[in-house]
Structure 1
Amino acid sequence: VSPSRTTISVAPDATGIGKMRWPVRGRVISNFGGGKDGVDIAVPEGTPVKAAENGVVIYAGDGLKEFGNTVLVRHENGLVTVYGHASSIEVQRGQKVKRGQEIALSGMSGTTDSPKLHFEVRKNSAPVDPSGYLE
């Protein structure tokens, strides 16, 4: 018997709270819809960005030109959260994260003219309005 060569990081169980937490506290400066796949939240550069719910990091890097330094976290039920424009990333791909854990610091990476966090919730890869998922 040989061990499997492919290991898939499974998202940790959700907290059971039902709603995700806001990743930062700040003013929403751009809402979902009208071509926007998420919300933009104005925060000072260097503000800790926290995981909205328990999950596993499926991407952490700067390959998404528009959003610069970006973290994607997979959660239960086909949900993925996206955190863009970070000044620094504090997690690595494959790492399990807990709700409220610091995963990045806000910044101005990518295409933006002010420090902010771009936040998306995706259900089965399609963008959905985050307001229905946040408390």
Structure 2
Amino acid sequence: MLETTRMIKRLVCVSLVALIAACGSAPVAPGFYRVERGDTLSKIARSHRQSVQSIARWNNLNNPDSLEIGQVLRVAPPNGAASTSGAVRSGNSNSNGNPGASASATPRSAPDDSASSSAPASSISLVWPTNGNVIRTFDGANSKGIDISAAAGTPVVAAAGGTVVYAGNGLRGYGNLLILKHNAEYLTAYAHNRVLLVKEGESVAQGQKIAEMGDTDTNRVMLHFELRYQGRSIDPSRALPAR
């Protein structure tokens, strides 16, 4: 019985990894980095223009030489914290130009996910996934989607019809997450929800309520919304109607 339980757990883990790979790599928050094979703390610090000491301090690393593949590290200063490197990260601003408004909260794609602003987003027509104020826009580097702020519990709807390919909170950095597959080329992702209202494998219609806005794995109530074309994050505003 014990061996059977272990086998089931292994199969579940393998399936989850395969799912995220199929969705174009699991997102992590801006200001964070997912450790890859061959990474060292000094290499990560250099590529993010930070000091080893700062990254070790922000992540409470007792042994900076002990990193695990897939581990998520903060590589930008937390709100109100200073970096000993003095480096300033570009792109960590909201639509009003305020630096770091949601740097610790917004999921983005893994480092090997290339963003593109020239993908044919016009070939898919989206509706706004929720009502609220856009507090962060797509920049293709630190923000691989848009952030929309509103009250907790605000309905989140499917931006287009499709199938739920991920529904859960087992992946660090973006809380209760939904990923919808619309066709062979397009996916949308909805992060930080308070509650998920659909399950994996379920078909949803455009405009159908699928979640409620929340603040899971973030420092404020908001929805982080991404559009992906062939696995690449693209600017969702190009496929959304004007407000």
TM class by smaller structure: 0.7 to 0.9
Q: Find out whether 1:113 has 2:219 as its counterpart.
A: yes
Partners of 1:64 and 1:36 lie apart in 2 by 18
Out of 219, 232, 235, the residue aligned to residue 129 of structure 1 is 235
Identify unmatched segments of 5+ residues in structure 2. Answer: 1-122
- Report matched runs for 1:1-135 at 5 Å: 19-33=125-139, 34-110=141-217, 112-135=218-241
| CA shift for structure 1 position 38 | 0.5
Question: Aligned in 2, Cα 1:32/1:18: closer, same or farther, shift over 3 Å?
Answer: closer
In structure 1, the residue corresponding to 2:166 is in which secondary structure? Answer: strand
| CA shift for structure 1 position 23 | 0.4
Structure 1 window deviating more from structure 2 (50-59 vs 61-70): it is: 61-70
Structure 1 window deviating more from structure 2 (73-82 vs 113-122): it is: 73-82
Q: How does the TM-score come out when normalised to structure 2?
A: 0.47
Q: Contact (CA 8 Å) 2:164, 2:178: kept in 1 or not?
A: yes
Runs of 4+ residues deviating >3 angstroms: none
Provide the aligned length of Structure 1 versus Structure 2.
118
In structure 1, the residue corresponding to 2:170 is in which secondary structure? Answer: strand
**Between Structure 1 and Structure 2, which shows a larger proportion of helix residues?**
2
| CA shift for structure 1 position 18 | 5.2
- 1:11-56 alpha-carbon deviations (Å, 9 max, x no partner): xxxxxx9520000011110111131111100010001100001100
- 1:84-103 alpha-carbon deviations (Å, 9 max, x no partner): 00000000000000001011
Q: How does the TM-score come out when normalised to structure 1?
A: 0.84
In structure 2, the residue corresponding to 1:100 is in which secondary structure? Answer: coil
Partners of 1:24 and 1:62 lie apart in 2 by 20
Q: Contact (CA 8 Å) 2:131, 2:154: kept in 1 or not?
A: no
Query: Percent identical across equivalent pairs?
Result: 39
Partners of 1:123 and 1:41 lie apart in 2 by 21
Q: Name the Cα RMSD after superposition.
A: 1.3
Larger Rg: 1 or 2?
Answer: 2
Partners of 1:134 and 1:115 lie apart in 2 by 22
